[in-house]
Amino acid sequence: MSRNLIIGTVLTSIFVALAAVSFVWTPHDIETLDIPNKLQGPGGGNLLGTDHFGRDILSMIMMGARTSIAVAVVAVGIGMALGIPLGLLAAARHGSLLDELIMRGNDLVFAFPSLVIAILITAVFGASAVNAIIAIGIFNIPVFARLTRGAALPLWERDFILAARVCGKSATRISVEHILPNITNLMIVQGTIQFSLGILAEAALSYIGLGAQPPTASWGRMLADAQTLVSIAPHTALVPGFAILLMVLGLNLMGDGLRDWLDPRIRVART
Amino acid sequence: MSLLAIKDLGVSINGTAILHDVSLRMTHGEIVAITGESGSGKSMTALAVMGLLPRGATAAGQIVLDSTDILRTSETDLCQMRGNAMGMVFQEPMTALNPVQTIGDQVAETILIHEKTTKVEAHDRAAAMLARVGLKLSPTRYPHELSGGQRQRVVIAMAIALRPKLLIADEPTTALDVTTQARILDLLRDLVREFDMGLLIITHDLAVVADVADKIVVMQKGRVVEAGATQDLLANMQHPYTKALFEASTHVVSLPEAKPSAPMLSVQDVVRDYPITRRRLRGPRPMFRALHDISFEINQGERLGLVGESGCGKSTLTRAILGLEDVQGGEIRLDGQAVFAGKRPNLAVRRKMQVVFQDPYSSFNPRHRVERLITEPFHLLDSPPTGQARQAAIAKALGDVGLTPEDASKFIHEFSGGQRQRIAIARALIVEPELIIFDEAVSALDVSVRAQVLDLIAELCRKRPLAYLFISHDLSVVRSVTDRVIVMQAGKIVEQGETEAVFANPQHPYTQTLIAAAPQLPQIGMVV
């Protein structure tokens, strides 16, 4: 295992653990306001200080991790659940009109700047975590569809696929039985990368107020709330900022490390 | 004085010894062939001479080329020598050229790197060199416009552009057709005489070795087991491995007598067209006719050979027979039923046919266990065996090909190339088909393994009536395992008949060329 993979996995696990713990326990309740105790610095009664309503920042970070991870997981899930079958279908019907339609449709989605469209969707259908998930998820579909098709095409040329066809197996069955297991590694790696992009996208949407709505905690909105207070209480902006940074960094390192670890060719070259 | 002297060369990669005490000498104008099976270390020896050992490799001993010890020369100086003092020709002409540069540019580049000349002069010399290697094409062509043989000529032109003293050719003709192979070998021989260079040729093909080499070095497991002048060595082999190697390559399998029987597969006037790229924006797509009115029959229990060079339509025909692709004309019937019913392949027919492919490394899904791999054809059955019956079928199929039932739970990467080909045969046999298509099934195997697999096929024929279509470019193999043979050229059948009759007395000029071009092992006096 490479150093990248270890650091990335540790960072990611820390945030996942924080999110998981928040279901049963947080240091303070974040729904009660404690105005007299506002903008406390780190240390003292609140480990990472309090915000302008006197809420405990560590607790908010934990609850926010939950939102970020949930949004990213579902968004990647949407991308995989629709993108991989589309990619497999395009590869199985390579060169057909259907392949053309799927891939040009992907190009169409790719052609739009994703965040702008996400803003449009949430602006039209209302700002909520669910709409944010759908908006981010839609832009994951072509990523997975393209990758799947690209990885599946060379596999279709292999003799073991020909052997399966000689055995009368249908294209669908071959895709599920033979193609899919051979591209899983790639999907895991890409999934990790898309996961980190999902977290960034969710933070961006919440920052402009189009993501999860109060009282649900969100890293992006914590940053937005802290914006005007940076000079008085810098920790209110730094803490959620670093949370986003470390989580995304961790996921990217993990994705990078996983790619090397899962690819036997690179593994041999390293040793 | 010798041109190249390798003395006690030992190479190990990450602590694993690959070569042990390899020694050989060669002089100017001499052709030395290193031969042996895969893993014998013959390519590693060539790489060591070029100073191109892979990362993590350490070498001991001496490789003296013209009084320079390669192993004690810096990388910068080696770069000066490569292309200049020594040139190399690789096996795969399809990947050895840069696809986005013209062939003239690529040959000129070698000259420009090593000599201070003008671009114009380098290009003139490159054109002359391309003409010298027998390429009657403009140097402004791109590699994809060339055939495999023509590309190999470009690769040779690059290697000899600066008239190196030593040319190393690693399996230079393995990827080529027999007629092309003969011409490339002639070219190499001529160049050696003309430039007075040394040629170190690495090949597993003993017929090629016997044909061109002045000296033979036989390697096994990283050691030289026997070396000597070609005539002496062939006449008087000492080492048992050498004897076994030559025996295996002239191996004759004993097929059971073919009994007269009823026709089973009938191919009638089959035509296959492929659409190719439009030449103009509008108008119909031009069609390429890959198969022209192909007609032949296979009787029950008959062993039919199919011979032809690459691009003759062998693979297209295989796909058509297997019902993987529809044909544009004619009909293919097995036991009276069409393989392609309407728009869909006919499963009832398909279960009577199976296929064994050439490449043992790509014919299996690396993520499945052997039991799952070989039972894949059960998909064709209406009620595939389950439980005990299934286990028994797996064990029987593995037993039939000389493997054990315990192998069923292993993954494919645990097997060697020859074992994988046995597993491929087990997969074909498990549904007890009437017809098996062997598509170059032994071409990728070492001679000794090939002999074993051929014996296995003959033994299976003895056990049960088995008809097969044996497709190969290797004439000697086809001759030994078939009753009847078909010769194809450019999508047409040019000759068919009893195997022995066709080989002994070929009628069509193409068949005559093919047989004449195939390198022959001389009759070796194995009398003790």
Q: Under DSSP, is residue B440 helix (H, G, I), strand (E, B) or coil?
A: coil
Give the per-residue pLDDT at A112.
Answer: 85
The ipTM estimated for the assembled molecules is 0.74
pLDDT exceeds cutoff 60 at A268: no
Distance from CA of A160 to the nearest CA of B (A): 4
pLDDT digits (tens, 9 = 90+) for A87-124: 999 999 988 899 999 999 999 988 888 888 888 888 88
The torsion of the CA quartet A107, A111, A115, A119, rounded to 10 degrees, works out to -100
Tokens, residue B348: 């009832």
8 Å CB contact of B379 and A168: yes
Give the per-residue pLDDT at B522.
Answer: 67
Distance from CA of A248 to the nearest CA of B (A): 32
Residue B517 gets which letter from DSSP?
Answer: H
Residues forming a β-bridge with B199:
B31, B167
Segment B181-201 mean pLDDT = 89
Do strands B166-170 and B57-65 pair parallel, antiparallel, or not at all (unpaired)?
Answer: unpaired
* pTM, rounded to two decimals: 0.79
pLDDT digits (tens, 9 = 90+) for B112-153: 888 888 889 999 999 998 988 888 888 888 888 888 888 888
Q: Measure the CA–CA gap between A192 and A136, rounded to whole angstroms.
A: 15
CA atoms within 13 A on the CB side of B484: 19
Q: Under DSSP, is residue A41 helix (H, G, I), strand (E, B) or coil?
A: coil
Q: Measure the CA–CA gap between A142 and A106, rounded to whole angstroms.
A: 5
Q: At what angle do helices B240-249 and B447-463 cross, to 10 degrees?
A: 50
pLDDT exceeds cutoff 60 at B19: yes
Chain A residues whose CB is inside 8 A of the B353 CB are 166
Per-residue burial over A185-212, b if 16 or more Cβ lie within 10 Å, else e, is bbbebbbbbbbbbbbbbbbbbbbeebbb
pLDDT digits (tens, 9 = 90+) for B286-309: 788 888 899 999 988 889 999 988
At residue B64, what is the residue type?
Answer: V
Q: What are phi and psi of A75, to 5 degrees?
A: -65, -45
Give the per-residue pLDDT at B524.
Answer: 54
Q: Under DSSP, is residue B107 helix (H, G, I), strand (E, B) or coil?
A: helix
3-state SS, one letter per residue, for B320-348:
HHCCCCCCCEEEEEECCEECEECCEECHH
Interface test with B, best of A155, A157, A159 (most B CBs within 10 A): A159
Distance from CA of B488 to the nearest CA of A (A): 23
First to last CA, chain B: 37
Question: For chain B, which residues lie within 8 Å of any Cβ of chain A, measuring from their own Cβ?
Answer: 14, 55, 322, 324, 345, 347, 350-351, 353-355, 357-359, 362-367, 376-377, 379-380, 424, 427
Q: Measure the CA–CA gap between B502 and B511, rounded to whole angstroms.
A: 8
Q: Measure the CA–CA gap between B241 and B225, rounded to whole angstroms.
A: 8
Do strands B467-472 and B303-307 pair parallel, antiparallel, or not at all (unpaired)?
Answer: parallel
- Alpha helices by DSSP H, B51-133: 75-81, 103-114, 119-132
Q: Measure the CA–CA gap between A186 and A132, rounded to whole angstroms.
A: 26
Distance from CA of A264 to the nearest CA of B (A): 13
Nearest CA in chain B to A173: B379
Residues contacting residue B128 through CB under 8 Å, at least 6 positions apart:
none
Handedness of CA A241, A244, A246, A248 (dihedral sign): negative
